Amino acid sequence: MVNIKDRPGIALIALLFALLISASSGCDSSENHSGQKENSLDQGEEKHAHNENEDAKQGKGHDKSADAGHGEEIVRLSKKELEEFGVQTSLAGPGQLNISVTLPGEVSVNADRVAHVVPRVSGVVREVRKNLGDHVKLGEVMAVLESRELASAKAEYLAAIERLSLAKANYSREERLWRKKVSSEQDYLNAKQELAEMRIALRSAEQKLHALGFTEKYLKQLPEHTDATFTFYEITAPFNGTVIKKHVALGEAVQNDAGLFVVADLSTVWVDLSVYEKDLPFVKEGAKVAITAGHGIPDTTGVISYVGPIVGEQTRTAIARAVVSNDKGALRPGLFITGKVTVKNISVPVIAPKTALQTYEGKTVVFIETAEGFEPSLVTVGQSDKTNVEIVSGLSSGNKYATKGAFTLKAQFSKGEFEAGHSH
């Protein structure tokens, strides 16, 4: 049993013991809280490291390759590939441009080689040997007429020959008798006058037949012809050509001025170009013109031989004409064409064919060949003609560049750019 006097000591001991227990409990709580903080930091570092790894995997981190740009601007092809793609190169240098103006035009018949065939005598058509579109040769019979007018002219000529023969005989007789003082001088003079008149009549009859187209050779053979042929008149072709119009039918009665056929020599044609007022100072005689008809008709060339002095009131254009060869008959009269007239020739320091130019991202480039391959170069162009263009900058004289197959190089270059961009 504890003594009451000892209670204060016991209480003091209990208090000290409680304080010790409380201190121990606080220390454990502090250690637990510190451990939790350390665990939280460790988990944060692990999470941060995990996020960095994820970013690295997903490409969110800094990529050093991005500093390299979008890939090399070089197209590399083997010699075999260049041949396969049809890539051809040339050295850049000076050249000449043919500056031209483009004009509309029309093909027409060469009016200097057109003939209107008329019979020259009236009669009835007995034969028609040629039709529209037929080709004829010089002197070839196109139609045959039966003409009383012609028969009368031939008969008159033959009668004049006989009268002249009789007049010559009578004159010789009268001259002989007059010299022998047998006949009077008046009879001699009458015979001489008659002879002169017969010669005039024969010459007149002969000229009539010449006017109808008969030759001297034909007239010499005429006395040997049968009477049945006197009425027939053959209409012949004036030159080699094509029948472009026909106005005759079998059995038709025609007059001596009727137009039966129109024959045209289409081996040459006229190309009439309409020259606008603004182009008149440049289009001159002697200028070369390139003619394009399209529709599968081969292009051809000619020379301006005539420039009209008058501007049309309605069209406000003048005519420039070229005589063009048409041996194959491809240029048909009435066909619409386009003519490019060369108005001047200029020399430029650097010239390139239009096939060498390509458009990339809205800019004009050519592909220059280097030791590594083909590199696109931005160029500035100047004047141009149908096939070539002046290069003002971006291509220097002596540079080796692609003149053909540039489109293939552009496609290869674009493909490389796309793949480089896709990989980033």
Which residue shows structure tokens 């005039």? 200
The number of folded domains in the chain is: 3
**Considering the domain boundaries, does residue 72 fall inside one?**
no
CA distance 324 to 318: 19
State which of 232, 264, 296 marks the end of a domain: 264
Q: Are residues 416 and 308 in the same domain?
A: no
The two beta strands, 336-353 and 400-404, are unpaired
Question: Is residue 357 one of the residues assigned to a domain?
Answer: yes
Residues 172 and 310 in one domain: no
CATH number at residue 249: 2.40.50.100
Domain range holding 384?
79-96+346-423
Average pLDDT over residues 402-412: 88
CATH no. for residue 271?
2.40.30.170
Q: Does 225 share its domain with 312?
A: no
What's the pLDDT score for residue 357?
94
List Cβ neighbours of 145 (8 Å cut-off, separation of 6 or more): 119, 121, 123, 124, 125, 126, 232, 233, 235, 254
Within the chain, what is the greatest distance between any pair of CA atoms? Answer: 230
Helices (DSSP H) in 59-103: which residue ranges? 79-85
pLDDT at position 231: 86
Per-residue model confidence (pLDDT) at position 74:
84
User: Contact at 8 Å (CB) between 144 and 126?
Assistant: yes
| Full strand arrangement of the beta sheet holding 114-117 | 114-117, 261-264, 241-246, 135-136
Q: Is residue 16 part of a domain?
A: no
**Packed helices 185-211 and 148-179: angle between N→C axes, nearest 10 degrees:** 160
**Residue 370 within a domain:** yes
Same domain, 240 and 145: yes
Q: What is the mean pLDDT of the chain?
A: 82
231/154 same-domain check: yes
Give the CATH number for residue 411. Answer: 2.40.420.20
Whether residue 216 sits in one domain with residue 164: yes
Report the SS3 class of residue 329: coil
**In terms of domains, do 122 and 169 share one?**
yes
Rg (CA), the chain: 55
| pLDDT, tens digit (0-9, with 9 covering 90-100), for 7-30 | 444 544 544 555 445 444 443 444
Residue 356: CA atoms inside 13 Å, Cβ hemisphere, count?
31
Same domain, 304 and 408: no
The answer to whether residues 259 and 121 belong to one domain is yes
Question: Taking the model in full, what pTM does it have?
Answer: 0.59
Instruction: Please enumerate in sequence order all residues whose Cβ is within 8 A of that of 378, keeping only pairs 6 or more positions apart, or say none.
Output: 363, 364, 365, 394
Residues 151 and 254 grouped into a single domain? yes
Residue 62 lies in a domain: no
Strands (E), 210-287: 232-236, 241-246, 253-254, 261-264, 268-276
Distance separating alpha carbons of residues 268 and 247, to the nearest angstrom: 24
- Domain-located, residue 67: no
pLDDT tens digits along 134-164: 999 999 999 999 999 888 989 899 999 999 9
- Same domain (yes/no): 247, 118: yes
> What is residue 38's predicted lDDT score, i.e. its pLDDT?
41
Q: What is the pLDDT of residues 37-89, one digit of tens each?
A: 344 434 444 444 444 444 433 433 333 333 333 445 788 888 888 888 888 99
pLDDT (average), residues 178-203:
91
Counting Cα atoms < 13 Å in the Cβ hemisphere of 333 gives: 15
Please, how many CA atoms are within 13 Å of residue 275, restricted to the half-sphere of its CB? 29
At 358 the pLDDT is 93
User: Does some domain include residue 337?
Assistant: yes
Judged against a pLDDT cut of 60, whether residue 288 lies above it is answered with: yes
Structural tokens at position 264: 């045209």
Q: Is it the case that residue 315 has pLDDT exceeding 80?
A: yes
Grade residue 399 by pLDDT with cuts at 50, 70 and 90.
very high
Q: Which secondary-structure segment (H or E) carries 305?
A: strand 300-307
Question: What is the pLDDT, as a whole number, of residue 198?
Answer: 93
Q: Which among 264, 285, 312 is the end of a domain?
A: 264
Same domain assignment for residues 124 and 215: yes
Domain boundary among 282, 315, 345: 345
**Within a domain: 88:** yes
